[in-house]
Amino acid sequence: MIKFSRLFVMIVISFFIAFNFTETKKDKLENEVEQYFRYLTDTIYRYKINVFNSKIVTYEYHKPKDLLYFNTPTIDEKTKNISGNIDNFFRLINENKIIQGNVWKVANIYPNYMYIKPYSDKCKNRSGDKIVNCKQYFDYLLKKEKIKRNLEQSNLTVYETMKVYGPYYKDKIKGGIITVYYPLYFDRKIDSILLLDIKADFLKDFLHDFNGENFTNFSLDKKIKLNEFIFNIIAKQKYFDPMKIPIQRSYWFFSLICLVIFIFLFVTYEFILFLRENINDNKKDKLTGLYRKDCFNDTKYSVSCIIIIDIDYFKNINDTYGHQVGDIVLKEVSDRIRYFISKTDIGIRWGGEEFVILLGEEIDIKQLKIKLNQLLHAISDIKICNIDVTISIGSFLSPNKIILANAFKSADEALYESKRTGRNKYTILMN
C-alpha cells in the first residue's frame, strides 16, 4: 500500500506540473494574441502605403462595383483606384487567425466617396440615408470620432489616432460589432478613414480554438472593455510596450488537470512497483524470499565484503523433525536475515541451508564484528519450532572490490574455520 508521504509528494508534484502547464500555455496564448494583433497592425500599415501609391483615375474610366459615391459623380470626377488594395486587405485580415471568419465589413472613406467590402445591394439602398447621402459624411466622422485633421501640432503617433467603438448590436449579430476607425494620414494630414467592422465575439472564437488545440480552458476576463483592449494592443504593441492580455484561468479545469496528473503518477508508480516486484519475485527463492544464487554471476559481480551463513546441524533437524519443520526453520532463519540486513545489502539463498549476504556499503573490521555478533544472536536467542537453532558464519573483508567468486572462496574458508572450531561463531578473513 502506498504511503501517505508518497501520496503527499505526488499531490505536490501534480500541482507543480499542472501550474507549470497552465502557465506555459497562458504565455503561449498571450504571445499568440500579441503576434496576431501585430500581423493586423502590419497589414494595416502595408495597406496604407499601397493606398497612398495608388493611381488616381476619373469616374468615366473607373466604375468598380465596390465604390460608393455620396453624391452623383461627374464624368471627370477623380477617385483613387484602390479596389484591388481593399480586396487584398480584406483577404489578409480574414486570414489572420485571431480575426478569422469574424470580419463583417471593411471600408475606406474619402470626402466624396468610399470603397466598401463586401459590397451588396444594401449599399446601393443607402443613397436615401441622410448621413451617407450628405457630402459632409467624412466631416461627420471626423467630428463624431474626434479624429484630428492635421497632426502637425499633435504629439500623437499615427496609431494613437485610431478610434475603437463598441460593441454595439447590428443586424441581429450575436455578440455585436466592434468598429475600428483608422485614420490614414499623408504628410500628417488626413487623407481618408479606414473602417473595420469586426464581430465582437472574435476573441472568444479564438480562445475556443486555442483551448481545443492545447487542452486548456482559458476565458476572457468578464470585466474587459473590448474596445479599450483592442485600442491599447494595436496602438501600443507596434512599439512593443508590455500589454496585459485579459485572460482568466478556470480553477475547476486546473483542478481537473491536477487530478489527471495525480492519477497518472499514481498508476505509473504502482505499475513500476508491480513490475519491479514481479521481476524481483522471479529472481527470488519461493521458500525463503531471498534472491537465488543463479541471479548473480560470480565472475562479473564485485564486492568488498561478503558474509556466508550456514545453519548448524541442519541435516539433524530434517532427520529428527522432518522436512516440513526443516522448511519452517529455513524460512524463519531467512526472515531474520532479511530483517537484519540493510536496504543496500543483498540476501541470497546460496543453496540448501547456506545463505550469503553481500554488503552494499563500506564497512570496517570493527563495524563488521558488531554486525556479525548481532546476526548470531538474532538467530540463536529465540528458538524456532521450540528448537535451538544456531549458525556459523564466514566473512571476507577487502578495502577494494574484488570478483565475487574470489571473495566467496575466501569467505567459504572462513566459514569452514568457524565450523571446525566449534560452530555458532564467526570468522573473518581480510584481504
Cβ-contact 150, 143 below 8 angstroms: no
- pLDDT for 64 equals 67
Q: Break the chain into its structural domains and give their ranges.
A: 28-255, 288-430
- pLDDT for 279 equals 59
Q: Does domain 288-430 have CATH number 3.30.420.40?
A: no
Look at residue 59 and tell me whether its pLDDT is greater than 50.
yes
Residue 370 pLDDT grade (very low, low, confident, very high; cuts 50, 70, 90): very high
Q: Which residues contact 397 (CB under 8 A, 6 or more apart)?
A: 304, 305, 363, 365, 368, 428, 429, 430, 431
Q: Which residues contact 338 (CB under 8 A, 6 or more apart)?
A: 289, 290, 347
DSSP string over 397-411: EEEEEEEHHHHHHHH
The model's pLDDT over 84-96, given as tens digits with 9 standing for 90+, comes to: 899 999 999 999 9
Least Cα distance to 184 among 42, 49, 41, 39 occurs for 49
Cα gap 325→309, rounded to integer Å: 19
Q: What is the mean pLDDT of residues 346-370?
A: 91
The model's pLDDT over 105-160, given as tens digits with 9 standing for 90+, comes to: 999 998 888 888 886 555 444 443 444 444 567 888 888 888 888 887 777 777 77
Look at residue 424 and tell me whether its pLDDT is greater than 90.
yes
